[in-house]
Structure 1
Amino acid sequence: MTPHFKADPAFDPGSIVVCDWPLCQVRLQDDTRFPWLILIPRREGLHEIADLDPAGRAALMEEIVRAGDVVRMLAEAAHRPVQKLNVAALGNVTAQLHVHVVGRRHDDGLWPDPVWGRGAALPYGPAALQAAASRIRLSQAG
């Protein structure tokens, strides 16, 4: 890992840092419409998944699966279980390698269309955002 890793500042307005996993910084997207995590590998200069070495790619896949479990947990806590996970490494707006893991439902308002760049986010509000972040941290403890 890069000792002085910095995520692109473009992530700051729409998400908060929740924790670090072995490879990635884990961020919660500030949008109550969807349970949504962003994984950013903490290595400098990455733009594509292929920029990771084989061990890094394997670690990223494991963290994507782990993020899917967390997204499902967040959705169940909100009594809106996930029906489908969307996983994408787009990078069209922010080139730094990152992976979105988004919980979707057939009644989520954008179904079946993609969520990226669609509609205005519905922010959690400060207390609810911190509560969701704490729930994620607690689910990963131990």
Structure 2
Amino acid sequence: MMPVLTTGFALDARLEADSEPIMWLGLCELRLMNDCRWPWVLLVPQRPGAEEIHELTPLDQAMLTFETNMVAQALKRVTGCTKINSGALGNIVRQLHVHVVARSEGDPGWPGPVWGHGVRKPYRREDLHLFSERLRQAL
């Protein structure tokens, strides 16, 4: 786990179990979902207690939008996908986090959502590190 930079912030245990850290962006920690069926990342704003985007300060909202767009563009360049899905649902994990998923026609579950489709397929360790490094370089 990467060191926590914001006093009082703790990553939700489910997010920590399901994803791997890639890098710090500024406001957010960028994490890779450990499911190789889709290139799927999370941005987790380092704000204790935040559950909704509207709970962030206007400056943090702007920063979250900037970081989400930056990650979406990099993910599209790295994967060559045809569609980027992004969203902050929080129905199960209440801690504020934004999903950014690279989608292409014919991927598992297309055109439906990635949530609840099939069984998660973890990355091989070396593939996880390789993809993370490619995304870091694109950012």
TM-score after normalising by structure 1: 0.88
Note if contact 1:35-1:74 (Cα within 8 Å) is conserved in structure 2.
no
Note if contact 2:21-2:32 (Cα within 8 Å) is conserved in structure 1.
yes
Q: Which runs of 5+ in 1 are unaligned?
A: 76-80
The answer to whether the aligner puts 1:54 opposite 2:69 as a matched pair is: no
Deviation of 1:4 after TM superposition, in Å, equals 4.6
Aligned to 2:27: 23
CA RMSD of aligned residues (A): 1.4
TM-score after normalising by structure 2: 0.90
Report how many residues are paired: 135
SS in structure 1 of the partner of residue 122 of structure 2? coil
Aligned to 1:130: 129
Calculate percent identity across the aligned residue pairs.
37
Q: Which amino acid is 1:11 matched to?
A: L
The answer to whether the aligner puts 1:68 opposite 2:72 as a matched pair is: yes
Deviation of 1:105 after TM superposition, in Å, equals 0.8
Q: Which amino acid is 2:66 matched to?
A: E
The answer to whether the aligner puts 1:87 opposite 2:91 as a matched pair is: no
1:102-127 deviations in Å (ceiling 9; x for gaps): 01111112111111122112211111
The answer to whether the aligner puts 1:118 opposite 2:122 as a matched pair is: no
Deviation of 1:54 after TM superposition, in Å, equals 0.8
Match 1:9 to one of 13, 21, 29: 13
CA distance in 1, matches of 2:42, 2:19: 8
